[in-house]
């Protein structure tokens, strides 16, 4: 009886904290989503037109040679068997071998992913603080010329496709004025300043592309909070407009800002395919495009899953930070 009472008391007083429960739920949903995405990626790659064995051996290959190669690559097995075999290898860190060059996929992706993360890191270092600063200034001067100028410039950059922005930047800064190199080529052994000089043009394009989203969300979130009663109280205390925004409005508007920042950080990693192709940058995007053209299915599947994992992971991180930053989200209801 005493033991049952003690267990009931522990369940009532020592139950799982709502924040921890929400975090566990977000992570579990993210893992289930990643599993579903892995199935979609596998089936999507399998549905691509053409024959992988034919693409490797060429049109002059004999039927027996094609059959032998399909058996060697496991393409003669049912799709479900191949899916679970591929998934099991991924869970043990084995991504398989590239069909075109026989190299380990994990090793090739590791180097390319490092290049993409380097590019995304410097784009984020510039774009996130700049977007928040511009959002604060636009909110401070709402409806006046600084707000209109910032909104107009950012909206014009986001309205153009990435490849158009890339070619404009390439033409003016690399071809016409010859300030920076036109090809963002990096390789192992380069110094940090050499790498920065090589990637500055794609970094500029990525900053221009993601800046508007974050700036406008920061502006909208702050203007929404500015309607609250405590903001009026802070103004009546004699605080200046920027002090009110920075000390009172911005901390309470951090949750939607964090969400849009994380989404754009995910884009910087996942959505760089066009930018990397324009500037011939040896990152994940260029790696994926090259192997799609070669019908290297294991590489395409592994790269697609890496992109999905990064995107889902950053979304989970955004949810967790929003929960921790906003007291209203710390409760299960």
Which among 84, 104, 102, 103 has a CA at the least distance from the CA of 94? 104
Cβ–Cβ < 8 Å for 296, 97: no
Neighbours of 332 (CB within 10 A): 10
Residue 107 confidence (pLDDT) above 70:
yes
DSSP letters spanning 54-87: HHHH-TT--HHHHHHHHHHHTTTS-HHHHHHHHH
If you compute the radius of gyration of the chain from its CA atoms, what whole number of angstroms results?
Answer: 25
Residue among 313, 306, 298 at smallest CA distance from 273 = 306
User: Residues 127-144: pLDDT tens digits?
Assistant: 999 998 999 899 888 889
pLDDT of residue 329: 54
Say whether 235 sits in a helix, a strand or coil.
helix
- Confidence category of residue 3, pLDDT binned at 50, 70, 90: very low
User: What are the structural domain ranges in the chain?
Assistant: 110-296
Nearest CA-CA partner of 112 in 261, 273, 264: 273
Region of 58 (left: φ > 0; alpha: ψ -120 to 50; beta: rest) is: left
Between CA 163 and CA 209 the distance in angstroms is 10
User: Is this prediction's pTM over 0.85?
Assistant: no
pLDDT of residue 260: 84
Name 258's Cβ contacts closer than 8 Å, sequence gap at least 6: 318, 321, 322, 325
Confidence of residue 122 (pLDDT cuts 50, 70, 90): very high
Flag the least confident range among 168-172, 243-247, 273-277. Answer: 243-247
- Give me the chain's average pLDDT, please: 82
Q: 3-class SS at 1?
A: coil
Give percent above pLDDT 90 in the chain.
Answer: 17
Question: For residues 222 and 245, is the Cβ–Cβ distance under 8 A?
Answer: yes
C-alpha separations of 166 from 101, 159, 180 in Å: 31, 13, 13
Average of pLDDT values for 270-274? 83
148, 141 Cβ separation under 8 angstroms: no
pLDDT level of residue 32 (50, 70, 90 thresholds) = very high
97 backbone dihedrals φ, ψ, rounded to 5°: -115, 150
pLDDT > 60? residue 332? no
In contact, 106 and 95? CB cutoff 8 Å = yes
Which 3 state secondary structure label does DSSP give 84?
A: helix
Residue 25 has pLDDT above 90, yes or no: no
pLDDT tens column, 194-217: 899 889 999 999 999 888 888 988
What six digits make up the tokens of 6? 């003690």
**Is the pLDDT at 50 greater than 60, yes or no?**
yes
C-alpha 60/C-alpha 90 separation (Å) is 34
Cα–Cα distance for residue pair 261/281, rounded to 1 Å: 24
Q: What is the DSSP string of 145-195?
A: HHHHHHHHHHHHHHHS-HHHHHHHHIIIIIIIS--S-SS----TT--HHHH
pLDDT value of residue 326: 60
Segment 268-296 mean pLDDT: 86
The angle that helices 105-140 and 145-159 make with each other, rounded to 10 degrees, is 150
Is residue 275 within 8 Å of residue 162, measured between CB atoms?
yes
DSSP code for 16: P
Contact 53, 73 (CB under 8 A): yes
Burial zone of 251 (CB within 10 Å; 0-12 exposed, 13-18 middle, 19+ buried): exposed
CATH architecture of 110-296: Orthogonal Bundle (1.10)
Res 333: pLDDT: 52
Please name every residue paired with 97 in a beta bridge, in sequence order, or none if there are none: 104
**Looking at the predicted structure, is the pLDDT value of residue 2 above 80?**
no
The residue assigned the tokens 């075999």 is 85
């Amino acid at each position: 009886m005493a033991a049952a009472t003690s267990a009931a008391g522990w369940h009532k007083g020592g139950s799982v904290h709502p924040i921890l429960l929400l975090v566990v739920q977000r992570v579990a949903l993210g893992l289930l989503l990643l599993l579903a995405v892995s199935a979609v990626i596998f089936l999507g790659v399998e549905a691509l037109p053409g024959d992988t064995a034919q693409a490797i051996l060429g049109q002059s290959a004999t039927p027996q040679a094609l059959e032998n190669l399909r058996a060697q690559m496991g393409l003669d097995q049912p799709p479900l068997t191949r899916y679970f075999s591929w998934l099991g290898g991924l869970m043990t860190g084995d991504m398989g071998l590239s069909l075109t060059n026989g190299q380990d996929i994990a090793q090739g992706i590791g180097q390319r992913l490092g290049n993409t993360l380097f590019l995304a890191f410097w784009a984020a270092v510039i774009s996130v603080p700049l977007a928040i600063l511009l959002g604060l200034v636009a909110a401070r001067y709402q409806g006046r010329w600084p707000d209109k100028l910032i909104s107009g410039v950012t909206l014009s950059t986001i309205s153009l496709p990435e490849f158009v922005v890339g070619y404009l930047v390439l033409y003016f800064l690399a071809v016409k004025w010859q300030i920076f190199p036109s090809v963002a080529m990096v390789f192992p052994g380069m110094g940090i300043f050499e790498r920065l000089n090589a990637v500055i043009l794609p970094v500029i394009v990525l900053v221009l592309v993601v800046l508007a989203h974050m700036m406008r969300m920061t502006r909208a979130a702050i203007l929404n909070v500015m309607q609250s009663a405590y903001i009026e109280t802070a103004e009546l205390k004699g605080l200046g407009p920027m002090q009110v925004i920075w000390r009172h409005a911005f901390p309470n508007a951090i949750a939607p800002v964090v969400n849009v920042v994380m989404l754009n950080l995910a884009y910087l990693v996942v959505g760089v395919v066009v930018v990397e192709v324009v500037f011939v940058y040896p990152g994940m995007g260029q790696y994926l495009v090259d192997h799609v053209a070669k019908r290297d299915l294991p590489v395409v599947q592994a790269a697609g899953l890496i992109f999905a994992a990064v995107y889902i992971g950053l979304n989970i991180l955004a949810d967790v930070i929003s929960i921790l930053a906003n007291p209203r989200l710390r409760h299960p209801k």
